[in-house]
Amino acid sequence: ETGVTQTPRHLVMGMTNKKSLKCEQHLGHNAMYWYKQSAKKPLELMFVYSLEERVENNSVPSRFSPECPNSSHLFLHLHTLQPEDSALYLCASSQVYRQGAGQPQHFGDGTRLSIL
């Protein structure tokens, strides 16, 4: 399925670098999500955007900065990261209704991030 595309696939950066992760969805959804997946831990929800407005931020460190310019694109800007931030970062999208309909989230392939 190519409905959710993430770039780059791999990223190696130093702690002082600034980089951005990109996510694009072609499914016509109105909500997008960033998740962090670390070894032996459950997926952690980082940010939620619904209708281009951030509706949830799970107390993520400020060195992670999301941006959602429209309903199809989502970015995660990174700066001054720490070694413990090395992980797989997954983007997802879904269609959300006000009354709640439990529509599944569709995921991209993720960006494998390594902090030196």
Partner 1 sequence: AQTVTQSQPEMSVQEAETVTLSCTYDTSENNYYLFWYKQPPSRQMILVIRQEAYKQQNATENRFSVNFQKAAKSFSLKISDSQLGDTAMYFCAFMRHEGGSEKLVFGKGTKLTVNP
Q: Tell me which residues touch partner 1 (CB under 8 A).
A: 1, 31, 40-43, 45, 48, 50-51, 55-56, 88, 90, 92, 94, 96, 98-110, 112
Q: How far is CA 63 from CA 69, 79, 98, in A?
A: 19, 5, 31
Residue with smaller CB distance to partner 1, 67 or 79 = 67
In which residue are the tokens 């109105």 written?
30
Minimum separation from the CB atom of position 112 to partner 1 (A): 8
Show the tokens assigned to 113: 């991030």
Least distance from C-beta 72 to partner 1, angstroms? Answer: 18
Would you say 72 or 105 has its CB closer to partner 1?
105
Least distance (Å) between residue 16 CB and partner 1:
28
Complex with partner 1: residue 60 or 79, whichever CB lies closer: 60
Q: How many CB atoms lie within 10 A of CB 5?
A: 13
Residue 52 tokens read as: 């281009």
Q: To which H or E segment does residue 70 belong?
A: strand 64-70
For 19, the token pair is: 């980089």
Judged by beta carbon, residue 78 or residue 87, the one nearer partner 1 is 87
